[in-house]
Amino acid sequence: MSNNILVPTDFSECADFALEAALKICKKESAHLHLFHASDLTTSLEELNLDQNVVDKISGEISLNAKDKLEVRERLIQEEGVACTVHYEGGDFIGGMKHLLDSIDIELIVMGSHGKSGRRDWLMGTNTQKVVRKYHKNVLVIKEAPSEDMFSKVVFVSGLYEDDKEVFKKFLNFIETYDVQEVHILAINLLGWFNQPTILMKELLEDFKNIASGFNCKTHFYSDYSVEAGIRHFVEEHDVSLIGISNQTRNPVKRIFLGSNVEMVVNNARVPVLSLDN
């Protein structure tokens, strides 16, 4: 892993869950944590059609409030013994993210998301999906407060493409410092679709299993009506605590379908999702 982990925050509960998870990872990896907030002042206030003096006053108050909240979290991070750099952006979130990712070698982005819970899916939920879709980065999505044994049972979901093997190695590299009891390799058998023959899929699953020597690894060719449903049902049945999924492909047609599946998993899964790219 790189020594730089980025945590965007909107100061919501789910964003703080992501920060808590990132702190645990930083301690294990001796990584540097970058905490980022974008207030998106210009876009929000322009829509109100206010006098410029009023806009300037409100902008100043929002900016000060955001910086105060960043300072509180920065102190907490430093108290945990983790090196931290705070980044504040008054403009839009995506623009600020692009600037950071262009200027800093970020290996992992840890983000909170409300997903499809009954709570409002306003900033972090929407922006998390945008980051997964837009940037070729590894993104860990957190929905709830991380447990002590964060990643005890994990699943890597794959279409078993050849280039997914390198992604799987990256996934194994990520989990190797955790007390992982079970590694599951999962391919979804879409009922009624043109899948590869079962015997071939099982052979491909064994190829992936051989990469995970040293882990307690199990393979599954799981039948369901959609990729997202298959993953969700498998996770519930096997009490999985982390989903790893490849978000990488050079084929533009596969990219459309794969990207859609990854975003649905990120949005609907109740457990952490690690979306892995190049």
Cα–Cα distance measured from residue 226 to residue 231, given in angstroms and rounded to the nearest whole number: 9
**pLDDT at residue 241 in the model:** 96
Please report the domains of the chain, with CATH numbers, ordered by start residue. 4-142 (3.40.50.620), 153-276 (3.40.50.620)
180 phi/psi in degrees, rounded to 5: -85, 120
Q: What is the pLDDT of residue 47?
A: 65
Which pTM value belongs to this model?
A: 0.89
CA neighbours closer than 13 Å in the CB half-sphere of residue 223:
7
Strands 108-112 and 182-190: unpaired
Exposure string over 202-219, b if 16+ CB within 10 A, otherwise e: eebbeebbebbeebebeb
* Per-residue confidence (pLDDT) for residue 83, from 0 to 100: 97
| pLDDT for position 43 | 61
Where b means 16+ CB within 10 Å and e means fewer, 15-37 reads bbbbbbbbbbbbeebebbbbbbb
> Per-10-residue mean pLDDT for the chain, 278 residues long?
87 95 95 94 65 78 93 97 95 91 96 63 67 89 89 94 93 94 94 76 96 96 91 96 83 48 85 89
Residue 167: which of 278, 2, 259, 274 has the closest Cα? Answer: 278
Predicted pLDDT at 148: 80
Q: What angle do CA 25, 16, 95 make, to 5 degrees?
A: 90
**Alpha carbon 108 to chain centroid, angstroms:** 8
Per-residue pLDDT at 150: 86
- Residue 263 CA to residue 129 CA, distance in Å, equals 6
pLDDT, position 55: 72
Phi and psi, residue 200, nearest 5° = -70, -40
What's the CA gap between 25 and 6, in Å, rounded? Answer: 11
